[in-house]
Structure 1
Amino acid sequence: MKNIIQKALFHTALTAGAMACCAQASALDYQGYFRALAGSNSSHGGASCFQLAGALAKYRLGNECEVYGEFWLGQEVAKADDGAVFNANIMLSYYSANASSKSEADLPQIYVQGDKIPELNNGSVWLGRKYYKREGLGANDFIYWSGRGFGGGIQDVMVGDNLKFSYALLRKDNLVATTSGLLPATGALADNGSNSATRHDFQLRGIPTNPGGSLELGLSFIVKDAKGNDKQSADTLHSGYGATIQHRQTGINGDGENKFALQYGTGPGTGGADQAIGAIGNLSDDKNISRLRVVEGLYTQFTPRLGAELVAIYQKDKGFTPEHTVLGVAENKVWTSLGGHLVYGISRRFKIGMDLGVDAIRPDEGPTRRMTKFTIAPTISSGMGLNARPDLRLFYTYAKWNDAARHAADSAAPGSALSSTGAFGAAKSGSMIGVQADVCF
Structure 2
Amino acid sequence: MFVDVAEIFVKGGNGGNGVISFRREKYVPMGGPDGGDGGKGGDVILEVDPGLRTLMDFRYKRKYVAQNGEHGKGKNMTGKNGEDLIVKVPPGTIIKDAETGEVLADLVAEGQRAIVAKGGRGGRGNARFASATMKAPRFAESGQPGEEHRLILELKLLADVGLLGFPNVGKSTILSVVTAARPKIADYPFTTLTPNLGVVDRGEDSFVIADIPGLIEGAHEGVGLGHEFLRHIERTKVLVHVLDVSGLSGRDPVEDFDKVNEELALYSQKLMEKKQIIAANKLDVTGADKVYERVKRELGLRGYEVYGISAATGMGINKLMDKVVEVLKEEIKTEHKEDAPIVNQVIEVVYKKKERPEYEIHRDEEGRYVIEGAFVDRVMSRVNTQDIDSIRYLQASLQRKGIMDELLNMGIKDGDIVKIKEYEFEYRA
Give the TM-score category using the shorter length: under 0.3
Q: Which has the higher helix share?
A: 2
Between structure 1 and structure 2, the one with the greater Rg is: 2
Q: Which has the higher strand share?
A: 1
**TM-score (structure 1 length as normaliser):** 0.23
